[in-house]
Amino acid sequence: MSRLATTFAHLADANRAALVAFVTGGDPDPAATPAILDALVEGGADVIELGMPFTDPMADGPAIQLANIRSLGAGTTTAKLLEIVADFRTRHPDFPIVLMGYANPMVRRGPAWFADAAARAGVDGVICVDIPSEEDEALGPALRAAGIDFVRLATPTTDAARLPAVLEGAGGFLYYVSVAGITGKQQAAQTSIEAAVAKLKAATDLPVAVGFGVRTPDQAAAIARVADGVVVGSAIVDEIARAAASGNDPAAAVRNIVKDLAAAIRTARQEKAA
């Protein structure tokens, strides 16, 4: 079983959701990223979503746009990012890590190059914002051949007729983008999230993780009661930005916020039962 499948299965047995924690690779600089990734693990994250910086992050709000600029400004390259993953993998042999980003940096040297390099580094899954199922050919076959899960996104605009196409070739987990919009802005109503997750879970055996606009432990806990995973990104990225700007240790800031989020998620379903 893959690291992602194992992790989600263990968490299901323990009756709790996964905390999927996003940071932009190389933010504020590539040298800082290994300690930040370790802090995510120590703080209690269950899956790391590592953003590949891109010059044109069309689906991201201001927080992650700025993180991309900081990372690229500090000289992050695809090679450096994969090296960071490979080093992480030697420190954390069983911890799932997923790359998230945009199509162009992933297909630049050809999909097979990227899939093989990512697999060698120990990447478990890939999320690509701008490769919908219609363009699966551009990356999907290469990833699956290399044993990497292609994590697909479902959104409030994905209707029932379209969902089977989205799930075709999907792996790892299904990422439900809870708002039609960009990252880190508004949050969806809890009732709409519950209804959407129920519909998705009826259509797939893949775990369903919910993200976009999740910022506080309370929000995370509410989602953790109904979904298999909660994705938090911009709130963590904001902490990194604040720490970097004020000369503090970004890893310590990350550890603190992730601890609070993880604690809320760990007790979410117990509170409901009580």
The residues annotated as belonging to the active site are 49, 60
Stretch that binds other proteins, among 32-40, 71-79, 90-98, 239-247 (CB under 8 A): 71-79
158: contact with other proteins by CB under 8 A? yes
Q: Judged by CB under 8 A, which of 1, 159, 160, 202 binds other proteins?
A: 159
72: contact with other proteins by CB under 8 A? yes
71: contact with other proteins by CB under 8 A? no
Do the Cβ atoms of 149 and 3 come closer than 8 Å? no
Q: Judged by CB under 8 A, which of 156, 187, 256, 260 binds other proteins?
A: 156
Q: Name the residue nearer to other proteins (CB basis): 40 or 209.
A: 209
Shortest Cβ 134–other proteins spacing (Å): 5
Q: Name the residue nearer to other proteins (CB basis): 90 or 157.
A: 157
Per-residue contact flags (x/-) with other proteins for residues 168 to 187, judged by CB under 8 A? ---------x-xxxx--x--
3: contact with other proteins by CB under 8 A? no
Residues forming the site for other proteins (CB under 8 A) = 54-59, 61, 65, 72, 77-78, 102-109, 129-132, 134-135, 138, 152-159, 162, 166, 177, 179-182, 185
